[in-house]
Amino acid sequence: MATICVPVCVRRAEELAGAVNLAARVGDVVELRLDYLNDPESALVAVRELADRSAAQIIVTMRGADQGGAGSHGSEVRHRFWSRAKDLPKVLLDIEFDLLTQAEESSLDWNRVICSHHDFRGVPPDIDRRYERIAATPARILKIAVQADDATDCIPIFRLLERAEVERRKLIAIAMGESGVMTRILGPSRGAFLTYGSLDEENTTAAGQVDARELRESYRVDSIDRQTAIFGIVGNPVKHSLSPQIHNAAFAEIDLNAVYLPMQVANVNEFMRRMVQPRSREIEWNLRGLSVTAPHKLTVMNRLDWIEPTAREIRAINTIVVSENELHGYNTDVAGFIAPLRAKLGSLKDARCAIIGAGGAARAALCALVRDRAQVELFARDPSRTDFIAHQFHADSRSIEHASFHHFDVVINATPLGTRGAPEAETPAVAEQLRGVRLAYDLVYNPIETRFLREARAAGCETLSGIEMLLSQAAEQFKLWTGRESSLDVMRTAAMKSLVESS
């Protein structure tokens, strides 16, 4: 069983008891971030009572501003706080290394001390030396947390966990930020003393912190071990991807020892070399396959040992299979795109289809429609961006400006317009442009109700959400990775639950 620590970060001392009760329901350990309080010393009486009553282990933390603290408490306040807090019974004391070096050894119960160091600038080049300095203290538990700016920044964290396991030291090692999420999920299976999970999305205390319930229910962190097959989605960003929920639900349904992780990657060439390619990777893990999303679908092609013809034809990889010592590339977007459309309309022969977009999704849609003998035209703000792929598949390329789609049977949004976040209020076409169209198909899936689909319904069109393509292509990926069929119903339920919770 993994040990999950849930931080509590309330503003008033009288809120501590209720917050601890909530945190203890989803975690094994509760961390009291007392630096969030205006007067943390006044809360020590309440903490003493909580330690006596709570079934969960409690960690008391008083972080300085340079170590990620929420308040403006200086070193003098922190020294005074710890001089009083050190006598608290039962609780663990998370004290920064810079304070511990000034403490009298005889004044602390070192068996209850977590000696910690945080670096929010990145991974320090001397991270091993910093570990050694912390390990030289009498503290029973060590903690190192560093900012990860790319997925490869997780490598030093995994190495520290391996070293601590060999040296039989209790270590909490975390790579903070969205690129470090994998260390939070895989850490316990690699000997980490605990991992941190938030009470909910609004109560995170560090970037990249995962909801504690999600750690247990979706990622099944208690079941992960060294033999667990590891899969993940590689992109930048990946935070809002539904793929982890979809694939982890499918793995759980067939009781497969596997986990699917979000992997935010900036430099995909370095990631492929240092973490993926079996002949050169720098960590030992049972990596079996990857999904690839923007902006890496083309770049990863140079790092593969074999590429299927369809992926090579449209110059986009969205699936990688680790086959012994080789990396094989596929594109399941083509099959994933066309399956829901066929289910909706039947034969697409001679159907008049307009694709709006110039990226990998547009190329996949074009390839699929041409194979089904549809009549296709590409639309983009800059038609020169679509000229090559249009010429390759004998399609026309036009400007989206002032375009009218009344004579088309199907209009497909293959742009990111409408995606949750900054472009959510945008649409590539409005109702006036879509009047007369039979079906509008939006490849954006988050949110499920996009502006493009609202405009299409206002124009009297049938609609098809991108969630159907996501599920269909995911089922194809699942089959490539495992050789088994997945349950679309299970995948859909997981996707819709996640969409509802994030809306």
Would you please indicate which residues are annotated as catalytic (active-site) residues? Answer: 297
- Quick one: tokens of 49? 């009572």
Instruction: Report the alpha-carbon distance of residue 313 to residue 308 in Å, rounded.
Output: 9
**Distance (Å, whole) CA 446 – CA 256:** 27
Task: Dihedral sign for Cα 292, 297, 300, 305, please.
Answer: positive
Tokens of 477: 């990926």
Query: Nearest CA to 406 among 450, 444, 452, 460?
Result: 460
CA gap 274, 296 in Å, rounded = 16
DSSP string, 116-163: EEEESS---TTHHHHHHHHHTSS-SEEEEEEE-SSGGGGHHHHHHHHH
Whether 288 contacts 320, CB under 8 Å = no
CA distance 472 to 494: 14
- The string of DSSP codes covering 173-219 is EEEESGGGHHHHHHGGGGT-S-EEEESSGGG-SSTTPEEHHHHHHTS
Cβ atoms 20, 47 nearer than 8 A:
no
DSSP state of 377: E
Q: Find tokens 């038609």 and name the residue.
A: 383
Beta strand 170-176 pairing with 141-147: parallel
